[in-house]
Structure 1
Amino acid sequence: MITKPTIDRIMEAIDIVEVVGEFVQLKKRGANYVGLSPFSNERTPSFTVSPAKGIFKDFSSGKGGSAVTFLMELEKFTYPEALKWLAKKYGIEVEETIESSENKEEENHRESLMIVSGYAAKFFHESLLETEEGQNIGLSYFKERGFTSETIKKFELGYSPDQWEAFTAKALKEGYQQQFLEETGLSVKRDNGTLYDRYRGRVMFPIHSFTGRVIAFGGRTLKTDKNVPKYINSPESEIYHKSNILYGLYFAKKAIRDEDNCYLVEGYADVLSVHQAGIENVVASSGTSLTVEQIRLIGRFTKNVTILYDGDAAGIKASLRGLDMILEEGLNVKVVLFPDGHDPDSYVRLVGTSAFKAHIDKNRKDFILYKTDILLKEAGNDPIRRADVIREIVESIAKIPDSIKASVFIKECSHILEIDERALLSELNKMRLNKAKKDSQQQANRQIEPSDYLPPEELQAEPPVKKDESNQEREIVRLLLLYGSKMIDWDGIANTYIGPFMIAELGDVEFDHPPSKKFVELYGKEVENGILPDEQFFIHFPDKDIVDLSVTLLATRYTLSENWYEMHKILVPDEQMNMKATILGAIFHLKKQKVGKILDGLRGELQKVENEADTEILLTQYMHMKKVEKSISDYLGSVILK
């Protein structure tokens, strides 16, 4: 367990804009920062970071919290993992009550897989650099490919010995469990139950997560035997989903954000060579077809993607349709071809950084126009094939969500295809209309899932809290968060803080909204212990319900410009100008609501009761509560009007 002083140092060092900015492209807007949600697919930014409060709020998914919460939500970290990541970022030494190195088998299953993968990366890297076999075979290969010692170290390249159990035997001896060796795909089980190494005699390319931890491997054979697969990649696991990973993204994300462009290549060596040449905004899909998830990963940092192809015409044509997905996600796509026989890896090593960049700048072509050119050449003068090309190009344009951008491409393609612009626009509108109809039909045909309804007995089990009622209770929580630590300076009340005053006034009120009830009870306990909790106490509290409620109430999607009054001479009312009315108004509105609920209950009982004595008792209670309601109404009127 991480010690309290270490946690305090981490919390003090955190700059939430800096932390979130590693994963989301943020732009300053007033006092806050905004960006596209990393939790949902959106085109209009609804993700907000407040540096003053130290919180984020994603209005599209409802998620919110501190920098620690953000890492836990996005990277599925445990609380200690998130703290350790932040400690590493800010150079803080982590003190633990029990050293994690003494306990290889972590409590968390996912963390165990991470630890095993990290150990394997270290083993392969040391095998490459420190063993005779590794130096003669693996290191020689990397040096022949032109990779420097710095690149080898940075990307943690390695070598797996050409022996059946070199890695597995050592891992088991070191105490790593067979279960995790199998799940990560590092070891394979024989029929007799024993394990052997998956990557024997291969150079190793560790695959890093978004936060830099090794989660998988690609292993390349150096043998010429055609029966041996050239590459073996890690199987899917709890920590590795290949459709969600881009090779090199951990090392490229800052450069992608700075350059506002991402170079997309095909293989590990392409990434390594281009990165080594000083062009660091480069990633690869690791030999798999590009997925929507990978495109959205890029979209967090830039809207501009440049595909670097190796000049293989057949391969290019096969991938053209897949690249339409990038357009559909609202990204701008350009294509660069290299001379025949060259890929990004070989070409950058041949011509060097300056000439490589010059080639990209000179030959960069917009994807739509490039696709048009390729397909037209293939169609030749055949009118039927040319008609098919036109439809395919318009299909691609139809995927572009920006209508202005789509219109520009229609105009350009009209000229290239030698066809009337209105005909293309007509076809475009037809395709969009058909898609809209199809989407609408799919929505209408959506089958009701079991979670969409509850059986009658479930509905009657526990009536939900009414929305207006929960809103009143949440308003109390909001005021405690914002003003609880402020000193009261009202007529007749002094020398106390707003928080304890509100808790005392609400002592006879029973909260029904579960998170609000939990919050107020926690606040009351802290006050009893002589502590006046502030908003940071609740933002970093371990209970997720408390954090979610606090962040939701503290975060605001819109902020009023500082120039509003200067520009429009309109003064917006500020609740702090009359704190007495704000605080007492909230307390007594809630009390009035609770009294109204009691009165409704008494009215219901009076309608059912048959005994005269019981009726008299209920009437007495009813009249008493009516007097309470009137006194609250009178008090509210005097407080609000003053």
Structure 2
Amino acid sequence: MIAKSTIDAVYDTARVEEVIGDFVQLKKSGANFKGLSPFSDERTPSFMVSPVKQIWKDFSSGKGGNVVAFLMEHEHFTYPEAIKYLAKKYNIEIEETEQSQEDKAAASEKESMYLVSEFAQKHFSETLWRSEPGKAIGLTYFKERGFTTETIEKFGLGYCLDEWDGFTNAALKKGYKLEFLEKTGLTIVKEAGTDRQRTFDRFKARVMFPIHSMSGRVLGFGGRILTNDKKAAKYLNSPESEIYHKSKVLYGIYYAKQAIAKEDVCYLVEGYTDVIQLYQRGIHNVVASSGTALTPEQIRLIGRLTNNITVLFDGDAAGMRASLRGVDLILEQGLNVRVCTFPEGEDPDSYAKNHSYEEVKDFLENNAKDFIQFKTSLLFAETAHDPIKKAETVRDIVSSISKIPDRIKQEIYIQECARMLDVSEEVLFNTLAQNRKKEINAAVKEAKKDKEKAFEVVKNEPQRPQVNQQALLERKILELLLLYGNMEAEFEDLILKEDDKGELALEPEMVSAKVYEKIYLDLQEDEIGFTHGNFQAIFGLIVQEMNQNPEFNMGQFLSDKDIGLVEEISSILMEDEKYVLHEWEKKEIYPKSKEVGVAQIVSETILTLRCVLVKKQISELQANLAQGPEADNSGILEEVLGYIQLNKILSKKLNRVMA
């Protein structure tokens, strides 16, 4: 168990904007930061981070919370893992108490797979540096590639011995279960007769490249064979597992994320050694698709950090043509794409190895072409004297342009394309329109199919959900408590008195109090309790905390709360922040600051809640009226009239017209 002193130190030190900034590209937006949601596919930012409140809210998915909740949601960490990650990031020493057997047994399957993978990485690394075969074969290979000792250690490179089950036996001796060795793909298990199994190391006799998540956890491995065995694949990747999905992972993203956000561009290469060699040369904002063709998920991963991707190709024209699909995928995701090709016979690895940082940097900046220039130069070289092939190439390029979701960008690219290809803009726009028409027709056909399916079973129209006014008001009260609970204000207290004519009326009386005291006493006076979800629990916790600690600290308050409550509180706190996304100031609309009239908002909210509850009581009493000529409802009717009179008084104070 992690000591409370460590947890408190983590919450005191960790900055939500810094931690989330490692995973999402954040831009300043008033007092907050905004960015694209890491939990959904969106092109308009709806992800908000509040440095003042130390919380975040994703309006597209509804998720929210503090810094620990983000790591648990985004990286699938357990609570202790998130605390340890933050402690490591901020150089906080971790104090731990002895973990019980029950706690150890409660570790999830996924966590067990992470632990097995992390052990494997350390084992392969130790084998590389300490065993004779590791040094003679693996280390020699890496040194011949030009990798320094520092680089080899940084990327956690290693070697798996040329033994059938050397690694598996080492892991089993350390207490790791065969079940998880098999599930991660590190060990292959085969049946060998009755009640017998044979185990094999998947990466036998290979140099090892660990593949990390964005937060640095080992997800899987890539292994390169060094022998000339024609039956064995040159590169072998970990199989898909609970923790490793190759279509959603980019090699090197853990080391590159900060440089990508800082440089506002990501260099995309093909191989592990391309990434490592460029990184060693000083180009840190580089990643590779991890042993798979580029996927939309991988592009979106980059899109959280930058809108700009430069794809680096070697001089092999056939390989470049095969990779054009990746360029179209990047365009579909709304990102800007450039392409840089190396001289014939060179690739990113060899070029970085044989040139200085300045030379590599200059080459990348001076040779990166817009995707239209690249496609034109690549495809037109083969179609220069063939009008039919030239027409096909033009259609191909227009097809790429049609994938760009931004219409303004489309028009600019069409103009550029017309200039470069010597084709009229009108013809290109017509071709673009034809492409759009085909897409629309295809979408309409799909919609018709869905409609026909819908008529196969008759369904009642879903009822529009009714607004729960009481829940909204309870939520508003919690928001006021969280934002202004410790603020001192002058309140107009309303005292119910009889006037000279014997009629009830509310008389104002000014009182000075803290917001949380005023709300608590008003609700206690009317015996009002929260009825929605976790609201009553949150209300009690806030009042207790503010009563005990005059200096209310949101980070400390949320540090030991249930993750469900943390998400609920963050959602309440950040509700108003979604309107910041509209950037009202740019439209010359300047909303009035809430702080100016907190006392008025508090009073009006509680008055409105009283009105709602009075109306609810009237409805319940009317429902209890007895039926029949002999029914005596005088008592109930008198009570109803009393509530109606009270409702009129409250509504009058709120300046509302009563029916």
Structure-2-length-normalised TM-score:
0.88
Q: Does 1:477 align with 2:478?
A: yes
Any conservation in 2 of the 1:188–1:196 contact (CA below 8 Å)? yes
Q: In the TM superposition, what is the alpha-carbon distance from 1:581 to its structure 2 partner? A: 2.9
Post-superposition shift, 1:275?
0.9
Q: 1:502 aligns with which of 519, 528, 531?
A: 519
Q: Residues 491 and 513 of structure 2 are in contact (CA less than 8 Å); yes or no, is this contact kept in structure 1?
A: no
**What is the distance in 2 between the residues matched to 1:571 and 1:392?**
48
Show the 5 A alignment for 1:243-258. Answer: 243-258=247-262
- When residues 278 and 577 of structure 1 are mapped into structure 2, their CA distance, relative to the original with a 3 A threshold, is closer
CA shift digits 1:393-423 (9 cap, x unpaired)? 1110111122232222212222332321101
Matched with 2:377 is 373
- Go from structure 1 to structure 2 and tell me whether the alpha carbon gap of 1:2 and 1:531 turns closer, same or farther (over 3 Å shift): farther
Counterpart residue type for residue 303 of structure 1: N
Deviations 1:226-257 (A, max 9, x none): 01111111111111111111101111111112
1:93 matched residue in structure 2:
93
What is the CA distance between 1:548 and its match in structure 2?
A: 2.9
Alpha-carbon distance in structure 1 between the residues aligned to 2:594 and 2:610: 20
Q: 1:597 corresponds to which letter in structure 2?
A: K
Aligned to 2:341: 337
Question: Would you say the 8 A contact 2:607–2:654 is kept in 1?
Answer: yes
1:219 to 220, 223, 226: 223
Which of 493-502 and 72-81 deviates more?
A: 493-502
2:558 and 2:443 map into 1 onto residues whose CA distance is 40
Tell me the equivalent position of 2:429.
Answer: 425
1:345, 1:571 → 2: CA distance? 54
Q: CA contact under 8 A between 2:584 and 2:590: conserved in structure 1? A: no
Q: Which moved more, 1:513-522 or 1:163-172?
A: 513-522
Secondary structure of 1:147 counterpart: coil
CA deviations over 1:62-110 (Å, ceiling 9, x no partner) = 2222111111221121221111111100001122222599987661221
Name the CA distance, whole Å, in 2 between partners of 1:102 and 1:344: 50
Residue in 1 aligned with 2:647? 629
Does 2:617 align with 1:598? yes
Distance in 2, Cα, partners of 1:610 & 1:515: 43
Letter in 2 for 1:632: L
- Matching residue within 567, 570, 582 for 1:551: 570
* Structure 1 Cα separation of the partners of residues 261 and 124 of structure 2: 31
Residue pair 1:486, 1:498 contacting (<8 A) in 2 also: yes
Provide the rounded CA distance (Å) in 2 between the counterparts of 1:387 and 1:341.
31
- Other-structure match for 1:615: 633
Find the aligned partners of 2:281 and 2:258 in 1 and give their Cα distance. Answer: 16
Q: How far did residue 138 of structure 1 move?
A: 0.6
Q: Partners of 1:70 and 1:434 in 2: how far apart? A: 41
Q: Give the Cα–Cα distance (whole angstroms) in 2 for the partners of residues 560 and 219 of structure 1.
A: 45
Q: 1:532 to 1:604 in 2, by over 3 A?
A: farther
SS of corresponding position for 1:378: coil
Higher RCO, 1 or 2 (CA under 8 Å, sep at least 6)?
2
Once the two structures are superposed, what CA deviation does each residue of 1:130-164 show, in whole Å capped at 9, x if it has no partner? Answer: 01110011111111111110010000000001111
The residue type paired with residue 420 of structure 1 is: S
The Cα shift of 1:272 comes to 1.0
Moved more, 13-22 or 25-34: 25-34
Asked if 1 retains the 8 angstrom alpha-carbon contact of 2:268 and 2:312, the reply is yes
Greater mean alpha carbon deviation, residues 546-555 or residues 608-617 = 608-617
Shift of 1:325: 0.7
Contact in 2 for aligned 1:334/1:365 (Cα 8 Å): yes
**AA of the residue aligned to 1:500:** E
After the TM superposition, which residues 159-178 of structure 1 pair with which residues of structure 2 at under 5 Å, given as runs? 159-178=159-178
Asked if 2 retains the 8 angstrom alpha-carbon contact of 1:166 and 1:197, the reply is yes
Q: In the alignment, residue 624 of structure 1 is paired with which amino acid? A: G
1:512 is aligned to 2:534: no
Structure-2 change in CA distance of 1:259 and 1:574 (3 Å): closer
Secondary structure of 2:38's match? coil
Task: Label 1:71 to 1:44 Cα distance change in 2 as closer, same or farther (>3 A).
Answer: same
| Separation (CA, whole Å) in 2 of partners of 1:515 and 1:446 | 39
Please give the secondary structure, in 1, of the residue aligned with 2:355.
helix
Unaligned runs of 5+ in 2: 493-508
- Say if 1:490 and 1:580, in contact at 8 Å, map to a contact too: yes
Q: Which residue of 1 aligns with 2:21?
A: 21
Tell me, yes or no, if structure 1 residue 267 matches structure 2 residue 284.
Answer: no
Aligned residues of 2:515 and 2:599 also touching (Cα < 8 A): no
How is 1:84-483 mapped onto 2 (pairs within 5 angstroms)? 84-99=84-99, 107-191=107-191, 192-439=196-443, 442=446, 445-446=449-450, 466-483=467-484
Structure 1 window deviating more from structure 2 (540-549 vs 284-293): it is 540-549
Instruction: Report the CA distance shift for 1:395/1:574 in structure 2 as closer, same or farther (over 3 A).
Output: closer
> How big is each residue's C-alpha offset from its partner over 1:473-496, in whole Å with a ceiling of 9 and x where there is no partner?
211111111222234544657575
Q: Which runs of 5+ in 1 are unaligned?
A: none
Looking at structure 2, the residues matched to 228 and 103 of structure 1 have their Cα atoms a distance apart, in angstroms, of 42
* Higher mean C-alpha displacement, 485-494 vs 183-192: 485-494
CA distance in 2, matches of 1:226, 1:27: 51
Give the number of aligned pairs.
Answer: 629
CA distance in 1 between counterparts of 2:138 and 2:101 reads 29
